[in-house]
Amino acid sequence: MNIEQGRTAYSAETLPDSELYIGAGWRKGARGRTAAVTNPATGRPIGDVALAEAEDLADAVAAGEAGFQSWRRMSAFQRAAILRRAAALLRERADVMARRITLEQGKPLREATAEIHFSAEVLDWFADEGRRTYGRIIPARANDVTARATMEPLGLIAGFTPWNYPVGQAVRKIAIALAAGCSIIVKVAEETPSAAVEMVRAFIDAGVPPGVLQLVYGDPAQLSAFLIACPEVRAISFTGSTAVGKTLTGLAGQHLKRCVMELGGHAPALVLADADVDAAAASLAGDKFHNAGQACISPTRLLVARGVVDRFTAAFVDRAWAVRVGNGLDATTTMGPLANARRVIALSRLVEDAVAQGARLLCGGAGGPSEHGHFFLPTVLAEVPPTARILHEEPFGPVAIINAVADVQEALIEANRLPYALAAYGWSRNATDIDAMQRHLRAGMVSLNHNGLGYPEVPFGGILDSGFGDEGGPEALREMMYTRFLSIRSPQ
């Protein structure tokens, strides 16, 4: 784990300033305000992003309502063709977009490239699924009556996306909304605007009409309050922290707006006595340190049967030591920096608290922001006491907790203890234990003996404090549509 690798080699690289896309054109904010964009691997500014004002948002809402009226009248086949063209353009431009992701967010270039290609796959799938938003004919109570139900688009959607997957998160919300026949205003994170600009250009070049897709940045509280209050905005799709999600859900409730909330997690992973220990360690370490652990479904609480905990721990720690930390543009880097200095400070405090309360630090450890960037070593804690903050608060970084459990029942109790219930994992070759996990792990998504989460065709969402609604599978389209019933009596 060497964080010196590649700190200065790319320090001079910058990005074009990022503008708002409203209606049919790119523009600066109404008052010309901007914010600096920083490379997390160097700590140095690499560009500026325009900040939207109320005047800009009002224009976007008006354009979005007009765009919806034209887009909804387009056939599902026509919409699908445009979305598939956008997917093809994402693939063609993957190298440019991936480099922008790495410069702004820090992840290794190979992960950024994979994010673009997966985003194209998401677009392809929802393009086709949008052609299958079937209704139904309902047997009527009279021979001269026809009764049917159809699925109709809600209208203009406000989407709010975080910085951890700058293109992937935005494309998922865009694909769902547009495939359903809605228009959308996407507010992306100010830390990672440039890759989103190129993403929107791909949609424009594919033929998405003006007003159907718009891109804004700015003060999150002001933008969300404005958009949620607008009567033209009919639904909210948010990915982010539980605290912010609760606030936005409350605002949406005041205006009777439908919500999809994909919120925080603290995913447990159960490794039971007869599991394939080496396979479990390899899979869970790969998932834990992917994107520097900055993923809502990242496994964090590793609950391992006492009989295999030493073997599992050794294998997992070996994987952690093998991670090469550095600038994501360096071909040898396998884990980049954290996205910002706030994450380094938050993780340092969580690790320090755990160690102070008796946890064993097996590798990595608390760090802090430096002049060279926001790096944090892959960290493994063992024997973490129940009072430690990290067992109650989502770390959202490259920190794993390994605690021993007696059996599947003790593991399930700990796994289900927190109000977070987004993802859960389990490893076992015992049919009884597999049955217990699939029945009793309380989470919106459960994957056993592998990681099968996040594909476009499967549901993606949590319960309890991890939110509600889906961003995957056919269920996702229904979040952006309503059921319309029609009953017609034939004229006599």
Based on the fold, state whether residues 253 and 380 are members of the same structural domain. Answer: no
| Mean pLDDT, residues 389-400 | 97
pLDDT for 219-237, tens place per residue?
A: 999 999 999 999 999 999 9
Tally of domains in the chain? 2
Residues 24 and 165 grouped into a single domain = yes
Task: Indicate whether 141 belongs to any domain.
Answer: yes
Instruction: Please give the positions annotated as active site.
Output: 262, 296
pLDDT for 243 beyond 80: yes
**C-alpha–C-alpha distance, residues 115 and 258, integer Å:** 28
- The answer to whether residue 10 sits within a structural domain is no
What pLDDT is recorded for position 372? 76
pLDDT tier for residue 5 given thresholds of 50, 70 and 90: very low
**Better-scored residue on pLDDT, 371 or 412:** 412
pTM of the model: 0.95
Q: How many C-beta atoms surround the C-beta of residue 453 within 10 A?
A: 20
| Choice between 13 and 355, residue whose per-residue pLDDT is larger | 355
Q: Specify the pLDDT at position 371.
A: 64
The mean per-residue pLDDT over the stretch 379-390 comes to 98
- Do 287 and 229 reside in the same domain of the chain? no
Q: State residue 6's pLDDT score.
A: 44
pLDDT of residue 492: 82
Q: Does 92 share its domain with 206? A: yes
Whether 142 is covered by a domain: the verdict is yes
Q: Are residues 428 and 477 in the same domain?
A: no
CATH code where residue 435 lies = 3.40.309.10
- 444-457: per-residue pLDDT in tens? 999 999 999 999 99
Report pLDDT for 1: 57
For residues 257 and 291, state if they share a domain.
Answer: no
What digits encode the pLDDT tens for the residues 82-124? 999 999 999 999 999 999 999 999 999 999 999 999 999 999 9
Q: Which domain holds residue 271?
A: 267-455
pLDDT score for 256 = 96
Q: Are residues 171 and 245 in the same domain?
A: yes
In this prediction, residues 321-338 reach a mean pLDDT of: 95
Query: Does residue 462 form part of some domain?
Result: no
- Which of these ranges, 73-82, 108-117, 265-274, 363-372, has the smallest mean pLDDT? 363-372
- Looking at the structure, do residues 150 and 170 belong to the same domain, yes or no? yes
Band (pLDDT 50/70/90 cuts) for residue 365 is confident
Q: Is residue 9 part of a domain?
A: no
Does 8 fall in a domain? Answer: no
- Could you give the percent of the chain with pLDDT greater than 90? 95
Question: Does residue 460 fall inside a structural domain?
Answer: no
Greatest distance between any 2 Cα atoms in the chain: 84
Same domain? 281 vs 410? yes
356 within a domain of the structure (yes/no): yes
Mean pLDDT of 204-218: 98
Q: 195 and 124: one domain?
A: yes
Residue 139 has pLDDT above 50, yes or no: yes
Co-location of 282 and 297 in the same domain? yes
Q: How confident is the model at residue 7 (pLDDT cuts 50, 70, 90)?
A: very low
Question: How large is the average pLDDT for residues 327-341?
Answer: 94
Q: What band does 11 get if pLDDT is binned at 50, 70 and 90?
A: low
Residue 370 has a pLDDT of 59
Residue 2: its pLDDT value, please? 54
CATH number at residue 35: 3.40.605.10
User: Is a pLDDT exceeding 90 seen at residue 32?
Assistant: yes
Do 276 and 321 reside in the same domain of the chain?
yes
CB contact at 8 A, 378 and 323: yes
